[in-house]
Amino acid sequence: IKLKNISKSLPAYEISGEGEGSSSISRVQQRLRRTFSHVEEEDVISLGVSIKDVLAQLMTEDDRPHAVVSIVGMGGIGKTTLARTVYKHIYVRRHFDCLAWVSISQQCKPREVLLDVLMKVQHERASIDNLNENQLVKRLSNVLKEKQYLIVFDDIWRSEDWDILKPAFPRGKKGSKFLFTTRNKNVAVVADPCNPPIELPFLTDDESWKLFRSKAFPRNKIGCHACLEEFEKFGRQMVKKCGGLPLAIVVLGGLLATKHSLVQWEMVHRNIFNGHLRGFQHDHQYDAVHGILALSYNDLPYHLKPCFLYLSHYPEDWEISKKELIQLWIAEGFIPPSLESTEILMEDIGEQFLEELINRSLVQVVKRDYTGINVKTCRMHDLLRDLCIERAREEKFLEIIQPPLTEFNVTLEKFMQRRIAIHPSKRHVSLKGEHLKLRSLLLFQNAELIKLHISECKNFKFLRVLNLVRRDVDKWHVSSEIGNLHHLRYLKIQGNQIILPHTIGQLKSLHTLYLQWGSKLVIPNVLFKLERLRHILLYARGSKSWMKEALQWRSRFCSNNVETLKYIVVDRKLIENKMVLRLTNIQRLGIVFNRPQDVKSILMLLIKLHRLRSLYMEFYLGPISISSSDLELLSQ
């Protein structure tokens, strides 16, 4: 009776049960039917003068090598926002022949930086993936030496990093530039004494309020951010606590955008000014931003907290694939099936979860698709990532093995760990004993040598997520012990030549299979046994010879259970046998064409796949014209 009375009293106190069991999930699913605005507000507040200063330095025709323009300021002050605004500016796009943006972070890896730059200026990774550092330097010189280029190094920490990278870049044409963002003014001064660094100031009170209002209040019918007078009083006081730091302001605004009553605003106001949360005991801006980030995390509904903490396993400045992230959330059990309709997919619910984190400014969008609406990739600001890692460790949610200052071997014998993420390193990582509570094992590897003793897979028998990478061997015979992982839901394997064992057919719980290889992939004919397999993603790097192999094993993927299949190779046999019609539940399909004459035939078959929502077509013989009438058939 008491519980019933409390429940009845909640509306009177304007308290909503955001973290209450399935009812809050149900509300999320109801909101999926509504249309959401995915377009970010302009965060460029009071950057007008700074934009002009940066453009002025970039546009000068300096006839000297390695001219550097630097944006300097503390974390969260808007350096990257300013740099991106300039990078996308129409004047910059017209002025420079080629541009590249690279995130450096605290662990600068020269080969990865050069590879990233080269991939962006020549838009091709396959032919450069296996080049060593000297070969990359030579290729980079050939590409850039006759061009006026702009290279952005976002978040560079040490002058020594620039000293290592600088010799790799040719003089280029007159006016070539580098644009740095850094917290360390000394980096800017040493890099180019001729160009004074552009230091970002804190926002004024009015600028802070304008930015906050754009986040906390939705636009009205005339495009303004309406704010009631009684809300403004509390809002301005809370914004003042942010000390003019944009990151703190947008996160606070994202938090209060979820609060629709004055009572809820008063509660947030009390939490800030009572100093109960870490970070508000002092006036320093970093203390303030930490407190507001902590407040925003504490305010997350229960179903979003594990989704947010899971982001901590990605390395610093990692560009996170939305689709892969959502598949990982599903494999972990963070996303429940719809309670109301089988038409609402778990992937749709996962997209809404991510959208909520974006709307709260806890996650930043990096790329959207061609529509400008749907998110493709995202990332975390490093201050938010620090909080995420801190909370993940406090709650024993995740163990992260990161590169140390000095390399040494690591042996993990903590049997209570549920998730382990191993970041790029040259260390020999060993897992000993039975890790019966381990649910996720995630490896991130960028051409560095990581060795992981996982031959005894029976020690990880409750594993749900496994991400394995091998670059240290040319031909990788994946251990047959992998068949003992009966609870595995998500398997990602990356290597050069991958030979899968027949025991992969024992993974009865497998939901997602992601394979990325260089020159060869061997798949045994056992995948038909995996009745729960829904998502198959195949990515070949390098030569096109994989297409001949793909013709042999493509039929193994054409099942009525599969919802995502990328990629399947089309030829006359596939069309005559109408193989794609087996894919009765397919929603996302990627196909590769050998011959232009097969396009219309395959489109005629795809019309019969009524659940198909996304189609990606790739042509190995170059561009092929497709008439709009052919595509209109699909839209029907």
- Count of Cβ atoms closer than 10 Å to residue 164 Cβ: 13
- Between CA 336 and CA 345 the distance in angstroms is 10
Q: How confident is the model at residue 256 (pLDDT cuts 50, 70, 90)?
A: very high
Residue 607 has pLDDT above 60, yes or no: yes
According to DSSP, the β-strands at 588-593 and 428-431 are unpaired
CA distance readout (Å), 167 to 66, 111, 161, 188, 284: 9, 13, 11, 17, 39
Residue 285 has pLDDT above 70, yes or no: no
The token pair at 170 is 């040719």
Q: What is the pLDDT of residues 188-211, one digit of tens each?
A: 999 999 999 999 999 999 999 999
DSSP code for 201: P
- Between CA 122 and CA 432 the distance in angstroms is 44
Residue 413 has pLDDT above 60, yes or no: no
Q: What is the pLDDT of residues 460-470, one digit of tens each?
A: 778 899 988 77
| Residues 6 or more apart whose Cβ sits within 8 Å of residue 269 | 234, 237, 238
Give the three-class secondary structure for 592. Answer: strand
The residue with tokens 């709307």 is 359
pLDDT score at 107: 78
Q: What is the pLDDT of residues 212-238, one digit of tens each?
A: 998 998 665 445 556 677 888 899 999
- Between CA 493 and CA 131 the distance in angstroms is 21
- Between CA 142 and CA 172 the distance in angstroms is 10
- Selection from 201, 120, 203 nearest residue 154 by Cα: 120
- Between CA 33 and CA 31 the distance in angstroms is 5
According to DSSP, the β-strands at 465-469 and 512-517 are unpaired
- Between CA 429 and CA 421 the distance in angstroms is 11
- Count of Cβ atoms closer than 10 Å to residue 9 Cβ: 10
pLDDT score at 227: 65
| Residues 6 or more apart whose Cβ sits within 8 Å of residue 254 | 215, 216, 296, 359, 360, 361, 362
The residue with tokens 């190779």 is 569
- Selection from 501, 18, 565 nearest residue 267 by Cα: 18
Sheet with 399-401, strands from edge to edge, namely 399-401, 419-422, 440-443, 465-469, 490-494, 512-517, 535-540, 564-570, 588-593, 614-619
- Count of Cβ atoms closer than 10 Å to residue 94 Cβ: 7
- Selection from 202, 616, 543 nearest residue 369 by Cα: 616
Q: What is the pLDDT of residues 286-332, one digit of tens each?
A: 677 788 889 999 999 999 999 999 999 998 889 999 999 999 999 99
- Between CA 249 and CA 213 the distance in angstroms is 9
CA angle 448, 381, 306 (to 5 degrees): 85
The DSSP line for 491-503 is: EEEE-SEEE--GG
- Selection from 564, 565, 538, 570 nearest residue 551 by Cα: 570
H helical segments located in 497-627: 546-553, 572-576, 599-606
CA angle 426, 493, 583 (to 5 degrees): 165
Please name each of the domains of the chain with its CATH number.
2-33+203-315+322-364 (no CATH), 48-199 (3.40.50.300), 387-635 (3.80.10)
Residue 29 has pLDDT above 70, yes or no: no
Contact status, residue 376 vs residue 358, Cβ threshold 8 Å? no
pTM above threshold 0.85: no
- Lowest mean per-residue pLDDT among 323-327, 359-363, 477-481, 504-508: 477-481
The token pair at 178 is 């580098």
